[in-house]
Amino acid sequence: MEGKLYAGEDYKKEFDPQDYLKTYYAFDSGTVAENEILKFNLKNLFQTFSSGGVGGDILIDIGSGPTIYQLLSACEAFREIIVSDYTEQNLWELEKWLKKEPGAYDWSPAVQYVCELEGDRSRCQEKEARLRRTVTRILKCDVTQPHPLAPAQVPPADCVLTLLAMECACPDADTYWAAIRRLVSLLKPGGHLVMAIALRCQSYMVGAKKFFGLPLEKETVEKAVQEAGCQVLRCEYRANKYSHFYCINEGICFLVGPQGPQGLRHPGTRGPAPEGQVTAEGQSLPTSPLKMLS
């Protein structure tokens, strides 16, 4: 085990997507703690994008990493999905799965689990095909910058989704609060911010390398979302921890935040746009094949 704590620019060279996937997303063949957190997120995503009523035209996934599990329920509720990540290697890993290339990660256990939640376990192949059709763009992102998706132009989103990413990307609380404001600025009026956060995270392992985690309390997350202009409609907390030799955290929460103090009842209310953030109203998404922007 290496002694260095990796963060920021280190991700571009030191983060190994395959090691990350094998550790945290082995599903039924993995460790109990990691599986329980994955199932917690999948259940909440299913609830949010089905009976929870969150849907529309555009979903932007910020900090997708090399994973697609977070989109398995969302692809039924949105016409188009934009995925994004800080590192090229994660984007290439995503593209491998989307294009069914050799060596792509096998997400079939997670797909089957979500299909069972939806009531039809025979839909696995149809589910994968639908997700591949729905993802239209693969973009670079950096939430510590004023324009996280620059130089790409994106339309205002009905939903911004981010799972287990912000506490890894932000070096301190001030950066975290600013980053949440930037995410909210990408929303349409009345759009939804949907998040999952590993609370009090200090670090996590990818292979033999230890990566930084920002310790956040549930109350801090809720306040940051509210200050950014969203209501906390739902915040599910569980005391689940990852296996201690993989990740040091204390609990996890899943949050749904409609923009505006009254949420969907006043969809025209917008939170403040940070640092001149441009949301590019009027821009349309390409419906043609995946486009990689670096």
What the block records as the tokens of 156 is: 């205002």
**What is the spatial distance between Cα 97 and Cα 185, in angstroms, rounded to a whole number?**
30
Q: Is 268 marked as binding a ligand?
A: no
Residue recorded with tokens 């299909």: 115
Q: Is 246 marked as binding a ligand?
A: no
Q: Is 63 marked as binding a ligand?
A: yes
Phi-psi region of 56 (alpha: psi -120 to 50; beta: other; left: phi over 0): left
Rounded to whole angstroms, what are the CA distances from 122 to 26, 112, 113? 21, 8, 11
The crossing angle, in degrees rounded to 10, of helices 173-184 and 218-227 is 50
Q: Is 69 marked as binding a ligand?
A: yes
Q: Is 119 marked as binding a ligand?
A: no
Q: Is 85 marked as binding a ligand?
A: yes
> Which alpha helices (H) appear in 99-239, and where do they start and end?
108-118, 124-134, 166-169, 173-184, 218-227
- CA-nearest of 155, 190, 216 to 53 is 190
Q: Is 64 marked as binding a ligand?
A: yes
Q: How many CB atoms lie within 10 A of CB 258?
A: 25
Q: Is 106 marked as binding a ligand?
A: no
Q: Is 120 marked as binding a ligand?
A: no
Q: How many residues does the chain have?
A: 294
Residue 9 burial (C-beta neighbours within 10 Å; 0-12, 13-18, 19+): exposed
Residue ranges for the known binding site for S-adenosyl-L-methionine are: 20, 25, 63-64, 69, 85, 90, 142-143
Residue ranges for the known binding site are: 20, 25, 63-64, 69, 85, 90, 142-143
